[in-house]
Amino acid sequence: MKRIVGMVAAIACFSLLLLQPAPASSLAKRTVASDGSAALHSYVGADDRVWRVNTQRRLIALTFDDGPYPFYTPLLLHVLDRSHVHATFFCVGRSAQEFPDLMDRIIESGDDVGNHTFNHIKLSGLSITQIADQIIEADVILASFVGHRIDLFRPPHGRYDRRVIEVASAMGYRTILWSDSPEDTKDITPTLVVQRVMQQARPGAIVLLHSGQYRTIEALPVIIDRLRAQGYTFVTVDELLASEQM
Ligand SMILES: [Zn+2]
C-alpha cells in the first residue's frame, strides 16, 4: 500500500511538472564537471541544488553513494555505529530491492537514506520520462524501507543537466551534491583519502564517499577521529540542511 501511495504521489508531482512551463530560472548556469570541480564552490542554489550548507557551526555530513552491498555495507555500518556517527546513504533502487536486509540495517542504525536512481545510470543523456522513471522507481522502493517520503536526491556520477534538476525538484527532491570529495573510487591509498577529506573539511561541508570501497572503510576511523579532534560534529544531510543560516 505504502508503495502504491508513493507511486501515485510521485506521478502526481511529475504531472504537475509537465503542465507547467519551464521556470525561467538560472538552472543551466552551473554544471558539475566530470572531475567534480564545481563542487568546490560554496553554494546553496534556489533551484534545489546543494553543495554545502551555510553555517558557522562545525557540522559536517558524511555521505555514501551506491549500494547497499554485501560485505562493504555491514562493515561500513559497523565502523559508523562504533563511533556513534550517523551518515546519509544515497542508495540505488535496484540494489535496495536485491538486498532488503542491508537496507533494514541502514535504517536500524539511524542513518539517513537518499535516492540515487533505480539503475545508477547517467541521467543527462535520458529523456524526461526516463529520468522521472529512474527517480520514481527508486523512490517507491527506498520509501518503503524508510517509512516516509525521501527528499534527498543525488544523480549518479554527479552528472546532470537542467531537466534532471527540474524533474527531481518537481518530485519534491533537493539535489545534494558535495563540497568535499577525496575521489575514493580511484586507486588511491586510505592515507590519501584521509588527507583529501581533511584538506577540504569546513563547517557545513558535505563529504562524498562511496559505499563499495574498502579503502574508504579503512580511512573512516581516522577521518572520524581527526574531524572530531578539530571540533566537528557529524550530522545527516537533513540535519545539516536544518542548520542552514540564511
Ligand atoms: Zn553513484
pLDDT tens sequence across 146-155:
999 999 999 9
Give the residue from 110, 94, 244, 90 showing the smallest Cα distance to 173: 90
Question: Strand pairing of 59-65 and 205-210?
Answer: parallel
pLDDT tens sequence across 185-209:
999 999 999 999 999 999 999 999 9
Number of domains within the chain: 1
How many Å lie between the centroid of ligand 1 and the Cα of residue 138? 13
Residue 38 maps to a domain: no
What cell does 156 get? 549518479
Percent of the chain scoring above 70 in pLDDT: 81
Determine which one of 48, 65, 66, 238 is catalytic.
65
Residue 203 maps to a domain: yes
How many Å lie between the centroid of ligand 1 and the Cα of residue 118? 11
Task: Indicate if 65 belongs to the active site.
Answer: yes
Task: Indicate if 41 belongs to the active site.
Answer: no
Determine which one of 48, 120, 133, 210 is catalytic.
210
Residue 29 maps to a domain: no
Write the CB contacts of 32 (distance below 8 Å, at least 6 apart in sequence). 38, 39, 158, 159, 160, 177
Burial of 60 (0-12, 13-18, 19+ CB in 10 A): buried
Residue 56 maps to a domain: yes
How many Å lie between the centroid of ligand 1 and the Cα of residue 135? 13
pTM of the model: 0.83
Instruction: Phi first, then psi: give them for residue 40, nearest 5 degrees.
Output: -75, -15
How many Å lie between the centroid of ligand 1 and the Cα of residue 19? 31
What mean pLDDT comes out for the span 232-236? 98
Residue 216 maps to a domain: yes
Residue 174 maps to a domain: yes
Please tell me the predicted confidence (pLDDT) of residue 14: 52
- Say how far apart CA 196 and CA 191 lie, in whole Å: 9
What letter would DSSP give residue 44?
B
pLDDT tens sequence across 129-182:
999 999 999 999 999 999 999 999 999 999 999 999 999 999 999 999 999 999
How many Å lie between the centroid of ligand 1 and the Cα of residue 60? 20
What mean pLDDT comes out for the span 87-113? 98
What's the number of CA atoms in the CB half-sphere (13 Å) around residue 124? 14
Cell 518537481 found at: 170
- The CATH number linked to 158 is 3.20.20.370
The parent domain of residue 153 ranges over 2-20+43-242
